[in-house]
Amino acid sequence: MKKIVSVISIAFIFIQVLSAQLSFSEKRVRDNTLNEGIAFIHQRQFEQAAARFTRCLDLDSTFAPAYLQRGRIFIEWGLMDDAMADLDMAIFYDPELGEAYFYKGYILFDNDSTYGDPTVSDAAMFDAAISHGFTEAWAYYFRGLTRIREGKDGMAMNDFNAAIVKKVDFALAYHERAGVKRRGGDLQGAHFDYQTAIEYQPRFPLAYNNRGSVRILLGDYEGAISDYSMALEQDAELFIALNNRGYAYYYLGNTEKALEDFNSAIALNDQFVNAYINKSSLLAKQSEVITALSLLDGVIREHADDALLYLNRGLIRELTGDLKGACKDWKRAKELGAGEAENYITQCNK
């Protein structure tokens, strides 16, 4: 194995020497060809761009920027293995090329894969991109997303702040920062950031949905319904917004519209458990407890490991006087991670 590595190393050194001997005119052709390719990318003429970058590499097989740009095109085409190979070559020939680390991080983040190397993570790639000078807003944004996934909201907040400093109209960064603020209890701050995201990107159904959820937490149910309705106007298949609007209607006592929304959410996504839970609660409130139990029984058969289903079925069983069945459900909910079930289990020992 050592002998093979040595041969490869010699080959790369030899190529680098050849590259260093390119004439001025050859380098000018190479660089002009690269710029032509980048211009084609901006025009979204990817085949022409790829041909230019390949031509660059025919002229100089150690030219890191051409590997980088061709890697970007492979990403656009969904050829992630080819993209990774080109980005690795870009970094090999220019370890300071921060943008190459960024696109490697993007591939890893978007595909939830290490491409065979468990020591390489998307977060590490975004770190490397920034430390090697690629300090564009997108680099901070994606690193912020990895921080959220790691449960590091404070670090994510710093990254989204940095992204917004770099790009003041960065709607996605405001949206993600709002989520961090919401989890931290800063509801007014979250509302402001969702509002700002919408101002910079008026067609943003998820931002309307999430601002609606913050409005519910602030007690503004009418405002929440308005936001959910706007989200659905922009994306009629956003089943989460239907479920959320149904909850707001339910709270305001409009059970007819609430039931309509829960049913519509289920019709769009029959695997969306929350809509079944909300519908069963509404049915139970209307004294249709048998129908509610039957609904949850069927859902539990398909989602046997969902703690909230057991928690809510326990509550409805309690309404029927079936405390034994209710206790069984609450205990199962606790086993599956629903800590609030403990509040009900205390009744089982009386």
pLDDT value for 9: 33
> What is the value of pTM for the model shown?
0.86
> Per-residue pLDDT tens for 173-220?
999 999 999 999 999 999 999 999 999 999 999 999 999 999 999 999
Give yes or no for residue 14 having a pLDDT over 70: no
Mean pLDDT of 128-147: 96
Region 328-344: what's the mean pLDDT? 94
Residue 75 has pLDDT above 90, yes or no: yes
Domains of the chain: 16-134 (1.25.40.10)
DSSP per residue over 80-135, as a string?
Answer: HHHHHHHHHHHHHH-TT-HHHHHHHHHHHHHHT--TT-TT--HHHHHHHHHHTT--
Determine the average pLDDT of the residues in 73-79. 95
The string of pLDDT tens digits covering residues 19-73 is 447 888 999 999 999 999 999 999 999 999 999 999 999 999 999 999 999 999 9
Q: What's the chain's average pLDDT?
A: 91
Report yes or no: 212 and 224 within 8 Å, Cβ to Cβ. Answer: yes
CB under 8 Å to 180, separation ≥6 — which residues?
148, 153, 156, 157, 160
Q: Hey, what long-range contacts does 7-16 have (CB within 8 A, 24 or more apart)?
A: 12/62, 12/92, 15/61, 15/62, 16/62, 16/93
